[in-house]
Amino acid sequence: MAATYNENQIQILEGLQAVRKRPGMYIGSTSSKGLHHLVYEIVDNAVDEALAGACDTIIVSIHPDNTISVLDNGRGIPVGIHPQKGISTVEVVFTILHAGGKFGGGGYKVSGGLHGVGASVVNALSEWLVVEVYTEGKIYQERFSRGEVIQPLTVIGSTDKTGTFVHFKPDEEIFEEVIFDFKMLEQRLKETAFLTKALKIQLIDLRENEEKKKVFHYEGGIKEFVGHLNKHKTPIYDEVFYCEGEKDGISVEVAFQHNDAYVENIFSFVNNINTTEGGTHLSGFKTAVTKTLNDYARKMGLLKDADKNLSGEDIREGMTAIVSIKIGEPQFEGQTKTKLGNSEAAGAVQSVFGDQLTYFLEQNPNVGKIVVQKGIMAARARDAARKARDLTRRKSALEGNALPGKLADCSEKDASKCEIYIVEGDSAGGSAKSARSPKTQAILPLRGKILNVEKVRIDKMLENQEIRNMITAFGAGISDDFDISKLRYGKIILMTDADVDGAHIRTLLLTFLYRYFRELIEQDHVYIAQPPLYLVEKNKKKYYVFDDKELEKVLEEIGRTGISRMQRYKGLGEMNPEQLWETTMDPESRVLVKVSIDDAAAADEIFTKLMGDDVEPRRQFINEHAHRVTYLDI
Ligand code: TTJ
């Protein structure tokens, strides 16, 4: 039975009021990240229309006043009265929580929103929002302010087009700062376009004098995505494998290509949502790769009867892959709700992908051969690494002291309270050792440049002393015997000089952590210390300044005359222990930047560009991002 209009009205207002009271519960945070989330929520609605086959173009505009509009050429949100709610469906979509897409009936509707919270949340958090629907020759318009209807759905003109247009201004009472980042939107929209074959997404920035515009349109979908991810790497065969199919109502798409690197790079998606914790679809993919390639290797005589099967890890060495499925009712599990739980997805991927991979290998025997040969090399390296590791373990058991000699450990027994500072160079290490609070802070100095792990296999990597010191100090093992519950520190803090060399060392360290200890980053264990670049002293007052822009500001504020000291720190070693403690290590006053990976595909591109052989993309990238504290801090 339909509730009365008044009852509904009250419920709706209470619902949206709850969103305004606790925005974090609905969009994660009210920082820049949450702000950009609003755009994705709206865009995802239009993408759903594209997935239904009813729209092929989406235009996202950033207006000069930092408002956003999204236009699609779909069928338009239905303007008729919603049978249960007694108001137009348009109004339902923008005022009732969790109403995203469950109307219209017939066929399954996949919802792409990250939290699936939908347009009503965006509406609640907008100072104003205007929606227009173009359908049946008419333009319908409704206006809202902070979730409340200002102007009910009204016909305001005529048109021969169809589609939906949404324009909104994020509420400055809610968000810390309302400024949109073109690059951030670009990254996400590009990824969405890759995942939705043949959908054209335009991003237009109208804020500058000169209009900036990018178009993302990939006829090849995820096949092109894999090509893009391997662009700055060296593929070891020309073809990119691609397949699509459907089983038990689950649609499956897979693409992959191997490159000459030693790590795998697999991204999985469910209904366009990046499943960073993996799940059943990813397991199905891995099972099929391992089985199909081992079968192939035996059939072709590449593995002899006496040989052991290749492990999945070996076959996936250097593999760049995208696994993307669409499923009616996804069950998301895991810490960040990005792990697919539906058991039927494993079988669907295994069957659709396995069959087509077998066929592909028959058609492209060279690819199979190259992959198997790389797998055999990987297996040998892994064997050697395992032996080396066992040897180290036995040796340290004999010596009775497993920890590296250079490590100045802390005394606290509760690992979650402990921190390890990874410091560049012995002299900075010395300062840090005198400065630290020995109960909870451990110091591990590293000598000079550290190994670029992109360039070597795991066995060679484990021969490197600095790498070994870090692994032993962390205490959680690596690859097959990695166990995060054994981690000896709650925070791993990278502390390098505030100069170009320091940035390079930091990048090498992050590359190592990203490629071999991604879980540590994903679970918020990795941080970057922020040592100051300048010390300014005036009237016996000290000002620590972290970059050139801030220096200008400080000098402006305190006045340029009467400054008794102005020191530029060339390295951490130049600071005395007391200064180092005050500015960089004291938990009360320091600034730590948490390393986070929102977008693994983007992070991979960054690492490839920074650590790869191509000089030009690296130079360009560093120029573009020089202003950022850390390029991972998205
Ligand atoms: C629903 O089923 C009947 C036909 O129209 C379907 C629909 O709602 N399509 C639709 C919604 N197209 N575009 C949207 C949409 C676009 C934006 C930019 C924002 C929102 C909230 C919805």
Q: What is the pLDDT of residues 170-216, one digit of tens each?
A: 999 999 999 999 999 999 999 999 999 989 999 999 998 888 999 99
* pLDDT computed for residue 127 by the predictor: 98
Q: Is pLDDT at 454 greater than 50 in this prediction?
A: yes
379 in a domain, yes or no? yes
pLDDT of 135-164, one tens digit each? 999 999 999 999 999 999 999 999 999 999
372 in a domain, yes or no? yes
Do 57 and 205 fall into the same domain?
yes
Q: How confident is the model at residue 612 (pLDDT cuts 50, 70, 90)?
A: low
Q: Give the domain-ending residue among 350, 371, 389.
A: 389
Do 117 and 141 fall into the same domain?
yes
208 in a domain, yes or no? yes
Mutate to test the pocket of ligand 1, among 59, 75, 166, 202 (most ligand atoms within 8 A of CB): 75
Q: Give the domain-ending residue among 165, 196, 217.
A: 217
Do 267 and 320 fall into the same domain?
yes
Ligand 1 — pocket residues by CB below 6 A?
A: 42, 45-46, 49, 70, 72, 74-75, 77-78, 93, 104, 119, 164, 166
Do 189 and 255 fall into the same domain?
no
* N residues, the chain: 634
* pLDDT computed for residue 327 by the predictor: 93
Give the single-character DSSP code of 303: S
From CA 432, how far away is CA 423, in angstroms rounded?
Answer: 8
* pLDDT computed for residue 3 by the predictor: 57
583 in a domain, yes or no? no
The structural domain count of the chain equals 3
Q: Which residues are catalytic?
A: 424, 497, 499, 501
What is the SS3 assignment for 251? Answer: strand
* pLDDT computed for residue 322 by the predictor: 98
Question: What's the CATH number where 134 sits?
Answer: 3.30.565.10
502 in a domain, yes or no? yes
Task: At 459, list the tokens.
Answer: 């066995």
pLDDT of 56-112, one tens digit each? 999 999 999 999 999 999 999 999 999 888 899 999 999 998 644 333 333 334 444
Do 343 and 267 fall into the same domain?
yes
Report the 3 state secondary structure along 523-581. CCCEEEECCCCEEEEECCEEEEECCHHHHHHHHHHHCCCCEEEEEECCCHHHCCHHHHH
What mean pLDDT do residues 223-229 have?
Answer: 96
From CA 315, how far away is CA 131, in angstroms rounded?
Answer: 50
Do 210 and 243 fall into the same domain?
no
Question: What's the CATH number where 481 sits?
Answer: 3.40.50.670
93 in a domain, yes or no? yes
* pLDDT computed for residue 97 by the predictor: 87
Mutate to test the pocket of ligand 1, among 39, 40, 42, 49 (most ligand atoms within 8 A of CB): 49
Q: Which atom of ligand 1 is nearest to the CA of 118?
A: 21
Residue at 495: amino acid letter: M
Question: What's the CATH number where 235 sits?
Answer: 3.30.230.10
552 in a domain, yes or no? no
Sign for the pseudo-dihedral over CA of 226, 317, 611, 274: positive
Distance 401 CA to ligand 1 centre (A): 64
pLDDT of 421-436, one tens digit each? 999 888 889 999 999 9
* pLDDT computed for residue 344 by the predictor: 97
Q: How confident is the model at residue 167 (pLDDT cuts 50, 70, 90)?
A: very high
216-245 per-residue burial string, b: 16 or more CB within 10 A, e: under 16 = bebebbbbbbbbbbbebbebbbeebbbbbb
Do 424 and 375 fall into the same domain?
no
Do 515 and 618 fall into the same domain?
yes
Distance 156 CA to ligand 1 centre (A): 19
Q: Give the domain-ending residue among 189, 217, 245.
A: 217
* pLDDT computed for residue 620 by the predictor: 61
Find out whether 102 and 130 touch, Cβ atoms under 8 Å.
Answer: no
From atom 7 of ligand 1, which residue's Cα is the shortest distance away?
Answer: 77
Give this prediction's pTM.
0.84
Measured torsion, CA atoms of residues 126, 130, 133, 137, in degrees rounded to the nearest 10: 180
Q: What is the mean pLDDT of the chain?
A: 89
Do 108 and 30 fall into the same domain?
yes
Which residue segment(s) compose the domain that 484 sits in?
415-531+593-628
Helical (H) or strand (E) element with 245: strand 241-247
From atom 22 of ligand 1, which residue's Cα is the shortest distance away?
Answer: 45
Distance 98 CA to ligand 1 centre (A): 14
541 in a domain, yes or no? no
Distance 114 CA to ligand 1 centre (A): 17
From atom 17 of ligand 1, which residue's Cα is the shortest distance away?
Answer: 46
Do 125 and 240 fall into the same domain?
no
Helical (H) or strand (E) element with 14: helix 5-21
Q: Is pLDDT at 299 greater than 60 in this prediction?
A: yes
Q: Is pLDDT at 392 greater than 90 in this prediction?
A: no
